[in-house]
Amino acid sequence: MDHITTNKLKELAQITGPDCISIFMPTYRGGKEVNEMIDQKHLKNLVKAVKNELESHDPDNREVKTLLEPLNRLVDDAGFWKHQSDGLAIFRNHDFFEYYTLPVIFQPLVNVANQFYPLPLIPYINDELKFYILAISQGSVKFYEGFPHQINEVELEDLLPQRLEDVVGFDFKEKQLHYRAGNDDRGRATFHGHGKSNDEADKTEILKYFRAVNNGVMKFLHDKKLPLILATVDYMVPIYREANDYKYLHKDFIQGNPDHAEPVLLHEKARDLLMEQVEHDKKEKTLTFEQKLSSMKASYQEEEVIPAAINGRIDTLFVKKGEFLWGIYDKEKNQVLERDKREAKNSCLLNMAAMHTILNKGKVYLMENDDMPESASRLNALFRF
């Protein structure tokens, strides 16, 4: 599969039991690396590492061969390796097997525990931006549905006018200007209009056109809550905003005539606008963390943050990238029992805190050390209560 959703991440987070295998690795889209089977060899080595770890937990485990069988089939599937993205994520236990080819360059990682380790997927999930684009000019109307890594045109011909003339008529230019021709004192031709100025008449006609477009758009978007981004020339933006009834029209727009713009370029520009908002929200949460520490509504004490995450108290969780904290959560005592190393019956508590935060509709950010609000800790949290 080439896409993973928040709901799928939640499903992975709730799967527990022995021998939950999580594998992450970077992959090549093409080039000599594909011809030389670099990725196949890489996965083969990672599967070997999984085998060694499983056997170290239980040398007499006769189910190891069966457990690893689908992973070895994947290694040997030559066709599979010809259609890669930037990274591969694999999840396998005795009852479950799924893999995802994603546009994320993962650091190589193998994890065998009593639950899956989806933590490296957080940046991809945070990039799960969905949106709409209305590309509009006087001569064309196109509507797109945008996803994190693709864009699709939505056919709304039955709902939308296709150009200005469909609404105001093909003779609107003649209607807006009755003129007489003459010459000025230098012999140059002059034209004198009667009634409204060209600019005023143009705005009236364009507003009428945009209201018709808005009416059609609203029939499609009436129950939606995703951002709608305009792609049009500057002077048309305030006119469309006057006609607009959609609550989630984005404050910014894609500038320029969209008539000949490639959908891929529109997608890229829309994502840039939305990612600016994502980064802004992250910075706001960082500032809020610093403000809330003194009032006990934030914490960087890991023994406090992990139970809070499991109990649904966390609004926002910052997790330090590339770190691990092994241990067990004692539900009866509501406390964490840390371990020095990974063992068969313990889990990464950072992953556990992150997954419970997501399951309880909180926000999780995977952060570099220098970007953590409090870098001395592997977990920083903003509490709901």
User: Are the C-beta atoms of residues 378 and 304 closer than 8 Å to each other?
Assistant: no
Domain shared by 136 and 232, yes or no: yes
| Total tally of structural domains belonging to the chain | 3
Domain shared by 159 and 270, yes or no: yes
User: Residue 216 above 60 pLDDT?
Assistant: yes
Q: What is the pLDDT of residues 42-68, one digit of tens each?
A: 999 999 999 999 998 877 778 999 999
The stretch 237-264 carries a mean pLDDT of: 96
Domain shared by 151 and 266, yes or no: yes
Q: Confidence band (pLDDT; 50, 70, 90) for 34? A: very high
Does 191 reside within a domain? yes
Domain shared by 317 and 273, yes or no: no
Q: What angle do CA 54, 101, 80 make, to 5 degrees?
A: 85
Does 18 reside within a domain? yes
User: What whole-number percentage of the chain has pLDDT above 70?
Assistant: 91
Of 243, 277, 311, which residue constitutes the final position of a domain?
277
Tell me what pLDDT residue 125 has: 86
Domain shared by 47 and 158, yes or no: no
Output the average pLDDT for the chain.
89
Tell me what pLDDT residue 185 has: 52
Of 277, 304, 338, which residue constitutes the final position of a domain?
277
Of 75, 95, 119, which residue constitutes the final position of a domain?
119
Q: Which of 16-20, 58-62, 167-171 has the highest mean pLDDT?
A: 16-20
Domain shared by 344 and 375, yes or no: yes
CB pairs under 8 A, 24+ apart, for 265-271?
A: 266/133, 266/135, 266/144, 266/151, 266/231, 267/133, 267/144, 267/146, 267/150, 267/151, 269/231, 270/131, 270/133, 270/146, 270/229, 270/231, 271/129, 271/146, 271/148
Higher pLDDT, 296 or 181: 296
Could you tell me the CATH number of the domain that includes residue 199? 3.30.420
The length of the chain, given as a count of residues: 385
Could you tell me the CATH number of the domain that includes residue 58? 3.30.960
The stretch 286-313 carries a mean pLDDT of: 95
Tell me what pLDDT residue 199 has: 57
Q: What is the pLDDT of residues 132-166, one digit of tens each?
A: 999 999 999 999 999 887 899 999 988 999 888 88
Tell me what pLDDT residue 197 has: 47
Could you tell me the CATH number of the domain that includes residue 351? 3.30.1330.30
The domain containing residue 18 runs over which residues? Answer: 6-119
> What whole-number distance in Å separates Cα of residue 206 and Cα of residue 159?
18
Domain shared by 78 and 153, yes or no: no
Mean pLDDT is lowest, of 26-40, 152-166, 193-207, for 193-207
Domain shared by 145 and 252, yes or no: yes
User: Residue 268 above 50 pLDDT?
Assistant: yes
